[in-house]
Structure 1
Amino acid sequence: MIDSIETRALAEEAEAEAAEALAEAARARAERLRAEAAEPQDKRRRLRRPGWSTVVAVLAVFVTAASLAASGYVTWHHREAMHRQQQSAEFEAAARQIAITLMSIDAAKAEESVKQILDSSTGQFHEEFKSASEDFVKLTQDGKVVTDVKVKAAAVESMTEDSATVLVTTTSTVTNAAGADKQPRAWRLSVDIVRDVGRLKMSKMEFVP
């Protein structure tokens, strides 16, 4: 926004200079015409020819104005692209960490896992998980569940200034009381991230094909 204002200001300044140059050219022409009226015919013809310097000066001012406007737009576009890249990287990093927090389970630290998940979430997901947290802890401890999760990739599907939907691909291995054999399994998660009081948190998560 600031770059756009600065660009308009520079363009307006250049246009003002062009207008001043045109006015100066008009005054010079008026003086030349008055001088021609008092000169012989052959000298008038000679006086009419000069004037290219004024035209060139005016054109130079307009070219400068156009160049400034184009340069300002390129600068603004570059900064906007950089800002969006930084935003995208920020949302992707948050989604990666949230996926690990959500899917990493250790029966010996079940209550701590619940706290981390609640701290990383907001909205409806937060409320629903909070209401089911006791059952989650009991199920994890009774089954002696331990999972190891690795994030393979994360990519923003859609994004605004304060929210994004991120697709996260993970693999996990599981051990439990039932004798799970640690065979790796692949998962794809669609994670909705929102900015909540300055922090990026998960507001929704679903497994996708």
Structure 2
Amino acid sequence: MKLPALADARRKLTKTNAASCLLVAIAVLFTVLSVALLKSHHTSEDQRAGDAAILSAARSGVTAMISVRDTSAADDVQKVLDQSTGIFKKDFEARSQAFIGIVQQAKVVTQGDVVAQGIESRGDGSATVLVTATSSVTNAAGANNESRSWRLRVTMSDDEGQYKMSNVEFVA
């Protein structure tokens, strides 16, 4: 009589072991899925933070570029240079004294504002941002708060941990 009881106990033990193994497998599966989702979430958050840094730097650089006053032209040019890098910075710096002279002579006052922007593409350490902006212009030639529209393709490059303008193209 002990043999059937032993067989029943083994069957119960085998069912319990199978159920335990199944629960452990399910717990491991959920743990793996949770880790994968958490990693994906962190990657998305890092990308969003990077995108925000790129867009903020592009907004600031473009605003500096289209906001110039005759009374503060040298400082305004320096703001653009501070937010630039690479060939764009070298070219702008080479022309900056002539630019300052023209702004002062023509008594130019412009105030710009970025209306919309978006990342067109991104690569390793750089991104291309499309920017739509407006500015109001007043000058000695007769412009009095005249509105100007700007469509720009701005390349933003990582310069020692900070995104800066490395190329600016006017888009038709």
Partner of 2:150: 187
Moved over 4 A (4+): 39-45
Separation of aligned partners in 1, 2:29 and 2:62: 49
Aligned partner letter, 1:49: R
Which one has a larger percent helix, Structure 1 or Structure 2? 1
Separation of aligned partners in 2, 1:120 and 1:42: 85
Partner of 2:47: 84
- Asked whether the 8 Å contact 1:104–1:148 carries over to 2, the reply is yes
**Relative to structure 2, which stretch is displaced further, 127-136 or 153-162?**
153-162
Separation of aligned partners in 1, 2:98 and 2:42: 48
Which one has a larger percent strand, Structure 1 or Structure 2? 2
Separation of aligned partners in 1, 2:8 and 2:15: 13
- Listed as ranges, the matches of 1:22-171 within 5 Å are 42=4, 45-46=7-8, 49-50=11-12, 51-160=14-123, 162-171=125-134
Separation of aligned partners in 2, 1:146 and 1:62: 70
Which of 156, 162, 165 in structure 2 is aligned with 1:202?
Answer: 165
Shift of 1:141: 1.4
Secondary structure at the aligned position of 1:180 is classed as coil
Deviations 1:119-177 (A, max 9, x none): 11110001111111121111111211111111112212223463221112111111111
Considering only CA atoms, is the larger Rg found in Structure 1 or Structure 2? Answer: 1
Is 1:174 aligned with 2:137? yes
Higher relative contact order (CA 8 A, sep 6+): 2
Paired residue total:
171
Unpaired runs of 5+ residues, structure 1, are 1-38
Shift of 1:41: 6.7
Secondary structure at the aligned position of 1:49 is classed as helix
Shift of 1:199: 2.2
Unpaired runs of 5+ residues, structure 2, are none
Aligned partner letter, 1:131: A
RMSD over aligned Cα atoms: 1.9
Q: TM-score of the superposition, structure 1-length normalised?
A: 0.75
- Asked whether the 8 Å contact 1:88–1:159 carries over to 2, the reply is no
- Asked whether the 8 Å contact 1:149–1:171 carries over to 2, the reply is yes
Determine what percentage of the aligned residue pairs are the same residue.
35
Q: TM-score of the superposition, structure 2-length normalised?
A: 0.90
Aligned partner letter, 1:167: L
